[in-house]
Amino acid sequence: MPSYAHPLAWLLALEGVALLRTQAGDLGDAAFVEQRIAEIRRLTADRDLALSAGAVVGRATTVEGYAQWADQYDSEVNPLIVAEEPRVQHILSTLPPGRALDAACGTGRHAAFLAGLGHEVVGVDSSAEMLALAKAKTPDGTFHQADLRAMPVEPASFDLVVCALALTHQPALGPALSEFARVTRPGGHIVLSDIHVLSLYLGGVAKVGGQDGGVRAMPASRFLASDYIAAIHEAGLEIEACHEPRWGEVPGGHGGPLAQQWCPEAAAAAYHDTPALIIWHLRRPRK
Ligand SMILES: C[S@@+](CC[C@H](N)C(=O)[O-])C[C@H]1O[C@@H](n2cnc3c(N)ncnc32)[C@H](O)[C@@H]1O
């Protein structure tokens, strides 16, 4: 079913989440609740906001979406990457250098980091535009344009496989996890990161512009931890660790410029302590 986005709906949604957090006893006293109610009255009474245009949200495949996003991808401050990078880089730093595969490498953020750690790096991505930037960043790496569920690499040929911020774009986890298990050597490591399902409900579905000035959403599956665990076991992998880092302060504040203009306290409360990501450290058993 097509969704419909309206600026006022986004602001009221943030106010609503903030109020739900107070109902759950997580935060906020009587004054906080009264401020939210007063702010909702101001928002709904504002003529410009009420008259601002809503839009049907279209759909874009990841190939279409990242072709469009690639140019700006590295120059934008992405709050999800701000939250993800320290935890993933910490895990990667503990592993010995070897052959490393960055599946859905995008512009090669982790591929470049792994090359810096002394790994021989291979990157795979379905977007030619994202891959071109990855190649420029890590000229000594090998890069393939391919689907992460059928990668043109030999079985058991990698000591480490990384897949960051891409699994939500897949319709199911099973094919990706079994492909990662296939290409990892026995005893090798697999590190996955992705947006947390709760943050997909807080504006986390990736969107790009549409030709008519509207927006288009890329696929965003709502995987639960239990879905990951089932796919991990089905692929014959072992869990070393699972992390769910929460949102901290982000540059520019939470919820985007509109939320910062109209309801920054509600936006901060909506994101406060909510998991931003799910990060898995897996291993292929030695035998
Ligand atoms: C949000 S970007 C993340 C890029 C990089 N891993 C990072 O963390 O900076 C998602 C990437 O996944 C890629 N992608 C999505 N689905 C894919 C698939 N089925 N096969 C290969 N790449 C895919 C996209 O082209 C895009 O480059």
CATH at 108: 3.40.50.150
pLDDT at 56: 87
pTM of the predicted protein model:
0.96
Q: 39 alpha carbon to ligand 1 midpoint, in Å?
A: 39
CA distance 76 to 189: 30
Q: How far is CA 235 from CA 34, 173, 174, 228, 232, in A?
A: 51, 10, 7, 10, 5
pLDDT in tens, 208-225: 988 777 899 999 999 999
Atom number of ligand 1 nearest to Cα 70? 27
Residue 248 is predicted with a pLDDT of 86
How confident is the model at residue 89, as a pLDDT? Answer: 98
Mutate to test the pocket of ligand 1, among 62, 153, 162, 193 (most ligand atoms within 8 A of CB): 62
Q: What domain range includes position 231?
A: 3-283
For residue 234, the CA-to-ligand 1 centroid distance in Å is 23
Residues with CB under 6 A from ligand 1: 62, 66, 104-106, 109, 125-127, 130, 147-149, 164-166, 169-170
Secondary-structure percent of the chain, ordered helix, strand, coil, rounded to 5: 45, 20, 35
Beta-strand runs (E) in the chain: 3-5, 55-59, 99-103, 120-125, 142-145, 158-164, 184-195, 207-209, 215-217, 238-243, 277-283
Helices 174-183 and 225-234: angle between axes, nearest 10 degrees: 40
Predicted pLDDT at 7: 93
Closest by CA to 43, choosing from 68, 12, 1, 17, is: 12
Q: Rounded to the nearest whole angstrom, what is the distance from the C-alpha of residue 98 to the centroid of ligand 1?
A: 23
State the pLDDT at residue 3. Answer: 85
According to DSSP, the β-strands at 99-103 and 158-164 are parallel
Atom number of ligand 1 nearest to Cα 131: 27
What's the domain count of the chain? 1
Q: How far is the CA of 103 from the centre of ligand 1 (A)?
A: 8
Kindly report, residue by residue over 26-63, the tens digit of the pLDDT. Answer: 888 999 999 999 999 999 999 988 888 888 899 999 99
C-alpha to C-alpha distances, 163 to 109, 125, 139, 154, nearest whole angstrom: 11, 10, 20, 17
Low-confidence ranges of the chain (pLDDT < 50): none
Whole-number Å distance, alpha carbon 105 to ligand 1 midpoint, is 6
pLDDT, residue 149, reads 98
